[in-house]
Structures are given as structure tokens and as C-alpha cells.
Amino acid sequence: RKEVEQDPGPFNVPEGATVAFNCTYSNSASQSFFWYRQDCRKEPKLLMSVYSSGNEDGRFTAQLNRASQYISLLIRDSKLSDSATYLCVSRGGVTGGGNKLTFGTGTQLKVEL
Amino acid sequence: DVKVTQSSRYLVKRTGEKVFLECVQDMDHENMFWYRQDPGLGLRLIYFSYDVKMKEKGDIPEGYSVSREKKERFSLILESASTNQTSMYLCASSKLPGTKGNTIYFGEGSWLTVV
């Protein structure tokens, strides 16, 4: 079983739709979580950090459920420019391997007219 | 802005050649990472370093080595390139976990083809 698992998609949605991605992680020692966005043939870029209390950044809302070990990303009012691959990332504790980031394989989103 | 620079963007090498991939960051970050990214497999950690001359194996270190002689530079070495090392290689850097502003920043990637 992969340490971080995501549905690869693709999710094809019309412009203006709301879309949600889920991600599960298996390492209970993971301490912090992120969503990254990656455009085709480009490097990943941080979209947002994920906090247990939930956090929102404009049209994007991220949530962490430690009890169930899953992370979610909600995108409201999808734009064509949101088309990309979204990577779920976990990070361990401070010492030793805690520096390690573990990536999901990504969920592909295609927003269509 | 943080800058992570991978000097070689596109390389074609022959099987058996020694390959050096260089990465430099300009933000005095303690952590540096090397990943490779392959379709359907996502990003997989090869090696990382949290200090000068320190290195730790990631998930797929076989066939690779690294060097961190200076804080700003982290080199990935393929001792004897093989065709299964054809991939996109991503370097990243960050402050230590728990430090304010410890976002992970990536370089633009190095596309390596081994023939």
C-alpha cells in the first residue's frame, strides 16, 4: 500500500463546478500536510498547507482528518486555469526521516467550457 | 523570491556514463532533496540532506549518490547511467520542519534520457 494515496482521475468538470479531491495517508507519524499543484511538464508549486481546523484560500478549502487519516481539497467555481494535477503531500516529524516529504501520485483535473 | 536552480534542464546520456545533476538554492535552506518523477508513480525520493555533508537515503537510492559540500549546493550523481534512469529529476529545498516559513520549493526539473 502506498503511503499517500490519491485517485488519479482525470476529473473532467464544467467551468463553475465544485470539485473535491480526497487523499489518504498511512503514516500516523506524519505531522504536516500540503496540496501542491503541478502543470504539465512543470515543477510542483505549493497551493496550500492543510490544518486540522480547516483552512480556506479564496475558492480553495483544505481539510485534515487525523482520526481517519485523510486530507481533502475543495475547489469552488472552477476555472479553466485550475486544470492541472493536484498532489497530496505529507511530511514527517522533525527528527531524522521527519524531513521527508511523501507525495501522492496526483489527481488530474480538467476544467472544460 | 526563493530560487532553486537546476543547471541542466535537458540531457541525453549514453548507458554507462557518469551523470552529474546540480542544484543550487539561494535561500540558506538547511534541507535539500532529490526526487524523480515518472508517469503513474508520482514523485519518489532518492536522497535528501538536512545539513552540509549530511545525507540520508530516500525510497529509491539504488544507482544514485549525492554530494553536499556547501549548504547551497546538492548534487545528484548517477555512477553508471542506465535506461531505467530515464526520468524527470526534481530538486527541492526548504527550511527545517517546524521552522516558520518551511515551504518546500522546487527547481524546474532536469529531463534525463539515457540511451
Whether B48 sits inside 8 A of A99 (CB atoms) is yes
Predicted pLDDT at A105 = 92
B chain contacts of residue A103, beta-carbon cutoff 8 Å: 35, 42-44
How many A/B residue pairs have CB atoms within 8 Å? 54
b/e burial code for range A51-73 (CB count within 10 A of at least 16 → b): eeeeeeeeebbbbbeeeeebbbb
Whether A32 sits inside 8 A of B97 (CB atoms) is yes
Interface residue B25 vs chain A (CB under 8 A): no
Predicted pLDDT at A53 = 86
The whole-chain average pLDDT of chain A stands at: 90
Whether A34 sits inside 8 A of B104 (CB atoms) is yes
Tens digits of residue pLDDT in B53-86? 999 998 899 999 999 999 999 999 999 999 999 9
In the predicted structure, residue A94 carries a pLDDT above the cut 60: no
- Of the candidates A41, A94, A103, the beta carbon closest to that of B97 is on A94
Tens digits of residue pLDDT in A22-60? 999 988 888 889 999 999 989 999 999 998 888 999 999
Whether A102 sits inside 8 A of B45 (CB atoms) is yes
- Tens-binned pLDDT, residue by residue, of chain B (115 aa): 668 999 889 999 999 999 999 999 999 999 999 999 998 888 999 999 989 999 999 889 999 999 999 999 999 999 999 999 999 999 999 887 666 667 889 999 999 999 9
Predicted pLDDT at B98 = 64
- Of the candidates B33, B41, B92, the beta carbon closest to that of A105 is on B41
Chain A residue whose CA is closest to B96 = A99
